């Protein structure tokens, strides 16, 4: 079966598996991983090789941008200690331990062993979020996992780049350190400047389809440009996305935004499916090249790396939680209130599923890389093992931990909803027409609903005045996020509500608010 036909079949199967995962309340990547393994046994499945640079740009760039776009700067600042210990400490610790195992057990060169450690170090929050979203777990945990999944990719991929370069040729530490520092600073500046330039372009495009195409082209263009300039493409993309995320929502029309969000969500889903297809095809060819005793040793090594990855994360998280709790005993009561619990640490430690980044980076190893086959096989085992063992056991673990329902985001949404309804009423108070009176009655009802969710919301046909009020709501919502009153999760939920309200009031998709008088 040709690769294209196989991919089409797998996309349809993935849709069915996604529906099944919701029924079973397990992460859909766990089922995708099992489907990827099944591909290895499909008769006549094609054997393919993908260019390493193409794999990184095609898969990593859009996924990183999507994750960075949804990352809350407020939460990054609030939980910076935990994020630093996970995104930096846990990645480095896991890399070192796995590299030691690879060096001693599989006889890998030191640089290749470090590359393996960097490949399997960064967890993917997509699988965890698929389950945690169904439970009211503490907001602190979900915020930390989402922030970690973004920042640890940058850390791991930086180590990966250096180790791969060192494995293929000599690298002087004295010259590497200044290069890394300059690359990091340059990447931060380039990401911000390219983000600002992209905003100027996006504001001039009104067509939703054209805007989406430009966004994808810009994402890949930023990655390629950063790579050509010798910068860190990962850091550049993250800064680029976060720069756009803080300004673009207010500059884009509702129709363009709703369309864009849907396309990006679908694109990330398709990329996940394609990555697992490649995993199955690569695993088949690798197992075919390994034979006799070498095959058994390779599988034993892969299982050992899987166990080491799981245990290492649990040990690291338990250790830093214990240290933070001990240090907090000497702090103020406010600081003690926000320290992590051992139950929360257990959940964070168990949410160490590896996913798309690990898959793609393993596949992207050059064909002549030392020990490539056992490294890639070990990476696949880590992805499959963590997604199946940890992903499918998250729900029972949550029931055992029995967290109190967390309403942090719900409360922020309720608070912001009252504020934006009041903003609409304030701006309409200067309008004295009969239509304005009806619209005010609608917003009065909606404000009451925000204060008491059991009430039914009113409806009105006076669309132009509704758009006028919606414009003021958007300004207020932007201010609430800007001053830190609400986080990005609450912001995007309310932004979506306002978007749909605007679309309902403007069938043609055009927004022409009344001028303030």
Q: Which residues contact 401 (CB under 8 A, 6 or more apart)?
A: 343, 346, 347
Residue with tokens 């200044």: 178
Q: Which residues contact 230 (CB under 8 A, 6 or more apart)?
A: 179, 183
Give tens-digit pLDDT for 283-301.
Answer: 777 777 766 656 788 889 9
pLDDT exceeds 80 at position 5: no
Residue 6 — φ and ψ, nearest 5°? -60, -40
Please report the pLDDT score of residue 47 as a whole number.
66
Burial of 445 (0-12, 13-18, 19+ CB in 10 A): middle
Please report the pLDDT score of residue 173 as a whole number.
53
Give tens-digit pLDDT for 299-319.
Answer: 899 999 999 999 999 999 999
Q: Which of 47-51, 140-144, 185-189 has the lowest mean pLDDT?
A: 47-51
pTM value?
A: 0.77
pLDDT exceeds 50 at position 459: no
Q: Which two tokens stand for residue 59?
A: 């898969």
- Cα atoms in the Cβ-side hemisphere of radius 13 Å centred on 257: 22
Please report the pLDDT score of residue 127 as a whole number.
64
What is the average per-residue pLDDT within 220-241?
88
Domain range annotation of the chain: 1-404, 406-458, 461-516
Residue 210 — φ and ψ, nearest 5°? -65, -40
Distance CA 237, CA 188 (A): 9
CATH class in words for 1-404: mainly alpha
Q: Among residues of the chain, what percentage have pLDDT more than 70?
A: 84
Q: Are 101 and 305 in contact (CB under 8 A)?
A: yes
Please report the pLDDT score of residue 464 as a whole number.
67
Q: Which two tokens stand for residue 373?
A: 């086959």
Q: Look at 107 and 178; give whichever has higher pLDDT.
A: 107
Q: Look at 324 and 491; give whichever has higher pLDDT.
A: 491
What is the average per-residue pLDDT within 196-202?
85
Give tens-digit pLDDT for 108-136.
Answer: 999 999 999 999 999 886 666 666 766 67
Please report the pLDDT score of residue 456 as a whole number.
39
Q: What is the CA radius of gyration of the chain?
A: 25
Give tens-digit pLDDT for 494-515.
Answer: 888 888 888 766 644 444 444 4
Q: Are 35 and 14 in contact (CB under 8 A)?
A: yes
Burial of 100 (0-12, 13-18, 19+ CB in 10 A): middle
Please report the pLDDT score of residue 517 as a whole number.
38
Give tens-digit pLDDT for 72-113.
Answer: 888 888 888 888 888 889 999 999 999 999 999 988 999 999
pLDDT exceeds 50 at position 41: yes
Q: Which residues contact 151 (CB under 8 A, 6 or more apart)?
A: 83, 87, 88
Q: Look at 482 and 176; give whichever has higher pLDDT.
A: 482
Please report the pLDDT score of residue 307 as a whole number.
95
Q: Give the range with max mean pLDDT: 30-44, 203-217, 223-237, 241-255.
A: 223-237
């Amino acid at each position: 079966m040709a690769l294209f036909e196989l991919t089409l079949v797998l996309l349809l199967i993935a849709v069915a598996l996604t529906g099944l995962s919701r029924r079973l309340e397990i992460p859909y990547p766990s089922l995708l991983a099992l489907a990827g393994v099944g591909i290895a046994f499909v008769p006549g499945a094609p054997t393919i090789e993908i260019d390493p640079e193409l794999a990184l740009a095609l898969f990593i760039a859009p996924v990183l941008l999507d994750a960075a776009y949804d990352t809350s700067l407020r939460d990054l600042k609030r939980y910076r200690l935990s994020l630093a210990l996970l995104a930096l400490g846990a990645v480095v610790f896991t890399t070192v331990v796995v590299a030691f195992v690879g060096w001693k057990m599989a006889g890998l060169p030191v640089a290749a062993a470090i590359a393996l450690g960097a490949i399997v170090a960064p967890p993917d929050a997509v699988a965890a979020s698929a389950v945690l979203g169904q439970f009211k777990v503490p907001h602190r945990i979900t915020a930390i996992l989402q922030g970690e999944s973004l920042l640890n990719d940058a850390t791991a991929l930086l180590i990966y780049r250096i180790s791969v370069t060192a494995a293929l040729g000599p690298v002087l530490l004295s010259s590497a350190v200044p290069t890394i520092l300059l690359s990091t600073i340059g990447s931060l500046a380039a990401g911000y400047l390219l983000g600002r330039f992209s905003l100027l372009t996006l504001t001039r495009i009104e067509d939703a389809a054209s805007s989406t195409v430009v966004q994808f082209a810009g994402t890949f263009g930023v990655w390629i440009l950063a790579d050509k300039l010798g910068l860190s493409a990962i850091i550049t993309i993250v800064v680029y996305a976060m720069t756009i995320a803080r300004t673009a929502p207010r500059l884009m029309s509702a129709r363009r935004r709703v369309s864009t969000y849907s396309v990006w969500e679908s694109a990330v889903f398709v990329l996940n499916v394609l990555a697992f297809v490649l995993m199955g095809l690569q695993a088949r060819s690798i197992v075919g090249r390994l034979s006799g005793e070498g095959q058994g040793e390779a599988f034993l090594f892969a299982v050992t790396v899987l166990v080491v990855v799981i245990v290492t994360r649990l040990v690291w998280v338990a250790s830093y939680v214990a240290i933070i709790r001990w240090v907090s005993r000497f702090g103020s009561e406010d600081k003690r209130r926000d320290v992590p619990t051992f139950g929360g640490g257990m959940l964070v430690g168990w949410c160490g599923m590896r996913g798309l980044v690990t898959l793609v980076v393993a596949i992207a190893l050059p064909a002549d890389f030392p020990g490539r086959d056992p490294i890639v096989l070990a990476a696949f085992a880590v992805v499959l093992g963590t997604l199946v063992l940890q992903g499918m056991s998250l729900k029972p673990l949550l029931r055992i931990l029995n967290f109190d329902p967390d309403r942090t985001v719900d409360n922020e949404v309720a608070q912001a909803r009252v504020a934006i309804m009041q903003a609409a009423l304030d701006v309409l108070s200067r309008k004295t027409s009969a239509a304005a009176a009806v619209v005010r009655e609608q917003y009065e009802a909606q404000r009451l609903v925000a204060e008491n969710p059991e009430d039914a919301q009113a409806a009105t046909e006076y669309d132009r005045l509704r758009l006028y009020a919606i414009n003021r709501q958007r300004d207020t919502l932007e201010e609430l996020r800007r001053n830190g009153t609400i986080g990005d999760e609450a912001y995007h939920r309310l932004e979506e509500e306002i978007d749909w309200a605007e679309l309902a009031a403007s069938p043609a998709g055009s927004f022409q608010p009344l001028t303030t008088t």
